[in-house]
Amino acid sequence: MPSLLLKLDPARDLVLEREVEVPPALVWAAWTKPEHLSRWFAPDPWTIPTCEIDLRPGGIFHCVMRAPDGKEYPNVGCYLEVASEERLIWTDALLPGFRPATDPLSTTIVALEAHEGRTRYTVTAMHPDEARRLRHEEVGFRRAWDAALDQLASYVTSL
Amino acid sequence: MPSLLLKLDPARDLVLEREVEVPPALVWAAWTKPEHLSRWFAPDPWTIPTCEIDLRPGGIFHCVMRAPDGKEYPNVGCYLEVASEERLIWTDALLPGFRPATDPLSTTIVALEAHEGRTRYTVTAMHPDEARRLRHEEVGFRRAWDAALDQLASYVTSL
């Protein structure tokens, strides 16, 4: 999808921009293979006991996060755009197969750009309204995504 | 999207299947050009004063229906899949650019299949829950889509 179609709104959206020391091919692999994603996506000490990826529009993205107390938080949605090593878009507003969900939080866009062997990495979370943007911010959007990205870089370097 | 990804559920979905006397190319044109769609999509005596189509995933589908009493009912969503003369999928669970909407009703799939110069035409509306399927049924899903399809066939024959 041409990026001009994405219309961001500071009142409803959250954005994290960083550069990481690994190339886009490795970041892409980390994002798109369950055996990789489950190793870095949950900020330590949380873990990911279940991860399912069907990498095509309408395909499932299902990820269970387990808290240190053992409680599990499932997330399920579907992919909307899969542009290899460039952009991955998914949403929890639609279940796999594009069925509308009942209580959406966000559509997430992970954008990658090669830069001298490193990756310019941008995560954008678009919410239906300001209340949900605030809720997402308060549960630690920035801290969690920052920590996860550090874990990603460290994990893929060990591959 | 392979159709196997679409998992229908009789409790939450509505389906209309018919055959029409016009070929898929004309049905597709009727569905994808605003100047055509505005001529047949609203069951008479309703009309369509505004119709906007950006035919790509994430692109706008915006259509205002005007009741005989002048009251207007806007519908806005975005396309999810555009497979020329075969399948068109859009949803009101996502606004243009994939932003989650606040009160989704349905994802709609229009599927076309050529059959001896005619078109096997299937409309499927997938809802988040049974309550919204019922609401959609009660406001006249079947009657409206049936009437609109008759209008489509009659309109494209005149082109």
DSSP output for A112-138 = EEEETTEEEEEEEEE-SSHHHHHHHHH
Reading the block at residue B54, the tokens are 């950006």
Structure confidence at residue A5 (pLDDT): 76
Q: Does A117 touch chain B (CB under 8 A)?
A: no
Q: Pairing relation of β-strands A118-126 and B13-20?
A: unpaired
Helix, strand, coil fractions of chain B, as percent rounded to 5:
30, 35, 35
The complex scores an ipTM of 0.93
Q: Do residues B110 and B90 touch, judged by C-beta distance below 8 A?
A: no
Q: Do residues B145 and B16 touch, judged by C-beta distance below 8 A?
A: yes
Among A55, A99, A135, the strongest candidate for a mutation testing the B interface, having the largest count of B CBs within 10 A, is A99
Of A1, A97, A106, the CB nearest to B100: A106
Structure confidence at residue B3 (pLDDT): 57
pLDDT higher at B64 or A5: B64
Q: Does B12 touch chain A (CB under 8 A)?
A: yes
Per-residue pLDDT band at A3 (split at 50, 70, 90): low
Contacts 24+ apart (CB under 8 A), B75-78: B77/B101
Q: Do residues A99 and A77 touch, judged by C-beta distance below 8 A?
A: no
- From A10's Cα to the closest Cα of chain B, the distance in A is 13
Could you read off the pLDDT of A74-100 as tens digits, one per residue? 999 999 999 999 999 999 999 999 999
Q: Does B124 touch chain A (CB under 8 A)?
A: no
Of A1, A91, A128, the CB nearest to B102: A128
Phi-psi region of A9 (alpha: psi -120 to 50; beta: other; left: phi over 0): beta
Could you read off the pLDDT of A90-126 as tens digits, one per residue? 999 999 999 999 989 999 999 999 999 999 999 999 9
Sheet holding A60-66, edge to edge: A13-20, A118-126, A107-115, A87-91, A72-83, A60-66, A47-53
Nearest to B90 by CA among B138, B125, B114, B45: B125
- From B70's Cα to the closest Cα of chain A, the distance in A is 29
* DSSP element (H, E) containing A52: strand A47-53
Of A97, A99, A128, the CB nearest to B100: A128
Amino acid at B77: G
Q: What pTM did the predictor assign? A: 0.94
Q: Does A99 touch chain B (CB under 8 A)?
A: yes
Structure confidence at residue A9 (pLDDT): 94
Closest residue on chain A to B54 (Cα): A5
Mean pLDDT, chain A, rounded, equals: 95
- From B101's Cα to the closest Cα of chain A, the distance in A is 5
Asked if the model's pLDDT at residue A1 lies above 50, the reply is no
Of A6, A58, A96, the CB nearest to B97: A6
Question: Do residue A7 and residue B89 have CB atoms under 8 angstroms apart?
Answer: no
Reading the block at residue A17, the tokens are 């921009």
Contacts of A76 in chain B (CB under 8 A): none
What are the angstrom distances between the C-alpha of B136 and each of B11, B117, B125? 12, 32, 9
In chain B the beta strands, taken as DSSP E runs, fall at 13-20, 47-53, 60-66, 72-83, 87-91, 107-115, 118-126
What b/e string do you get for B92-119 counting C-beta neighbours within 10 Å, with b at 16 or more?
Answer: bbbbbbbbbbeebbbbbbbbbeeeeebb
Asked if the model's pLDDT at residue B1 lies above 60, the reply is no
Closest residue on chain A to B97 (Cα): A6
Mean pLDDT score, A53-59: 97
Cβ count near B67 (within 10 Å): 12
Structure confidence at residue A141 (pLDDT): 96
- From A57's Cα to the closest Cα of chain B, the distance in A is 7
Mean pLDDT score, B133-154: 96
Size of interface A-B (CB pairs under 8 A): 110
Cβ count near B38 (within 10 Å): 17
